Amino acid sequence: MTTLSIGTAVPDFEAAATGGKTLTLSDFLGKNVVIYFYPKDNTPGCTQEGIAFRDHIDEFNAFNTVILGVSRDSVKVHEGFKCKQAFPFDLLSDQDETLCNLFGVIKMKNMYGKQVRGIERSTFLIDEQGVLRHEWRGVKVKNHIAEVLQELKILTQ
């Protein structure tokens, strides 16, 4: 389970990202960061969620906010997914589950009648100083972007 709690600083982390980059949380000090965890590239719900973030990127930019998507897929798979969907944000590869464990998003899930370990769709809002300000767990894609944007509006007032 996660050791992170609302109002505490998120430890700096490093992850392989699309575009041949290695990104750290500290790269984004001075910006709000929305990190969303999703189960798998190129699946219907995950594609829909990414498209929703993509289609509202101007609103996130207006709130000085960076979007980062995270799954256990490889950077190579992420590159194809990002290109195919024209995502204007980076996707982070978490094959060793370091970020998943930090944020506590790995859960036992039922898939075709079997128990499997997987990522629970979750989103985290980190402020300009690197402090966790809000979290959404067990996210349903519909209306999620509006909820995140509402929290950003409150945060930046």
CA gap 46, 34 in Å, rounded: 16
Sheet strands (E) in the chain: 14-17, 21-24, 32-37, 65-71, 90-93, 106-111, 114-119, 122-126, 132-137
Write out the catalytic residue numbers: 46
Q: Are 132 and 10 in contact (CB under 8 A)?
A: yes
CA gap 137, 131 in Å, rounded: 18
Dmax (CA) for the chain in angstroms is: 46
